């Protein structure tokens, strides 16, 4: 039985696309049954509709700063759809303990840095400014702290001479699209190991996936 999964996004949704493609493979242990966005014209919603996935746009602006009320609407939509697992994929809202608590241990986020380095925004610019030689991405379980929570998967890429934030972001994004489906599979299987897909973490001497707590 595939685990019923929601994706929350605010933008173009390239990670959602990679998750959708992976979940549609026979034998993948999760399926995407709902895509939610706080941005009504998010590109990810368009892709979901085009692929016959149920969507809901729940615009945070209608809630006038009441984050908990907005999250209650998200939760209601997910519960109506029988959602078990949640993937944040470019969802650009800070979460309150309401949503975090409801899906504790069942909600993943992808972040474009090797956490715990560079939590927050503008990670690629900050990596270049810091002069790091390795950068990358992280999938982690969501907890109350921003971009904290147990790490499920990581992939590293080199920072190359002449890199700009855009070129670095593009190199990282390739890895995001590989490790997020692997991490979702791992979560859906209840923490059992997942073989990283070919091409993931080419520059990482460590396995991309670790055991869940
Ligand atoms: C990705 O870089 C992800 O790591 C970050 O937001 C971006 C979303 O991109 N959380 P996309 O909408 O999935 O293309």
Q: What proportion of the chain, given as a percentage, has pLDDT over 90?
A: 89
Asked if 203 is an active-site residue, the reply is no
Predicted confidence band of residue 191 (pLDDT cuts 50, 70, 90): low
pLDDT of residue 195 exceeding 60: no
* Tens-digit pLDDT profile for residues 142-176: 999 999 999 999 999 999 999 999 999 999 999 99
Partnered with residue 19 across adjacent β-strands are none
Please report the atom of ligand 1 found closest to the CA of residue 172: 2
Question: What would the pLDDT profile of 45-62 be if each residue is shown by its tens digit?
Answer: 999 999 999 999 999 999
In this structure, the residue with its CA closest to atom 7 of ligand 1 is 90
Say which of 60, 111, 124, 135 is annotated catalytic.
111
- With a 6 Å cutoff on the Cβ, whether 147 touches ligand 1 is no
Q: Is the CB of 171 under 6 A from ligand 1?
A: no
pLDDT of residue 7: 99
Atom of ligand 1 nearest to the CA of 12: 12
Three state DSSP letters for the chain: CCEEEEEEECCCCHHHHHHHHHHCCCCCCEEEEEEEECCCCCHHHHHHHHCCCCEEECCHHHHCCCHHHHHHHHHHHHHHCCCCEEEECCCCCCCCHHHHHHCCCCEEEEECCCCCCCCCCCHHHHHHHHCCCEEEEEEEECCCCCCCCCEEEEEEEECCCCCCHHHHHHHHHHHHHHHHHHHHHHHHCCCCCCCCCCCCCCCCCCCCECCCC
Q: Ligand 1 pocket, 136 CB below 6 A?
A: no
Of ligand 1's atoms, which has the minimum distance to the CA of residue 89? Answer: 13
What confidence tier does 21 reach under pLDDT thresholds 50, 70, 90?
Answer: very high
**Residue 12 Cα to ligand 1 middle (Å):** 8
Tokens of 136: 């990358």
Find the 90 Cα to ligand 1 centroid distance in Å. Answer: 4
pTM of the model as a whole:
0.90
| Cα(176) to centroid(ligand 1), Å | 8
């Amino acid at each position: 039985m595939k685990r019923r999964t929601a994706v929350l996004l605010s933008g173009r949704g390239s990670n959602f696309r990679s998750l959708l493609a992976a979940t549609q493979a026979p034998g993948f242990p999760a399926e995407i049954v709902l895509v939610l966005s706080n941005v009504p014209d998010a590109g990810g919603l368009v892709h979901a509709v085009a692929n016959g996935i149920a969507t809901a746009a729940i615009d945070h602006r209608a809630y006038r700063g009441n984050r908990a009320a907005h999250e209650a609407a998200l939760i209601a939509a997910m519960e109506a759809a029988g959602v078990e697992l949640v993937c944040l994929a470019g969802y650009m809202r800070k979460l309150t303990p309401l949503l975090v608590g409801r899906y504790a241990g069942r909600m993943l986020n992808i972040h474009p840095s090797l956490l715990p380095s560079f939590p927050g925004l503008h990670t690629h610019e900050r990596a270049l400014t810091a002069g790091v030689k390795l950068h990358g991405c992280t999938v982690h379980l969501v907890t109350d702290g921003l971009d904290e929570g147990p790490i499920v998967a990581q992939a590293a890429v080199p920072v190359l001479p002449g890199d700009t934030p855009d070129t670095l972001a593009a190199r990282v994004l390739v890895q995001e699209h590989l490790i997020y489906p692997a991490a979702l599979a791992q979560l859906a299987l209840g923490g059992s190991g997942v073989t990283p897909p070919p091409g993931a973490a080419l520059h990482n001497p460590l396995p991309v996936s670790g055991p869940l707590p």
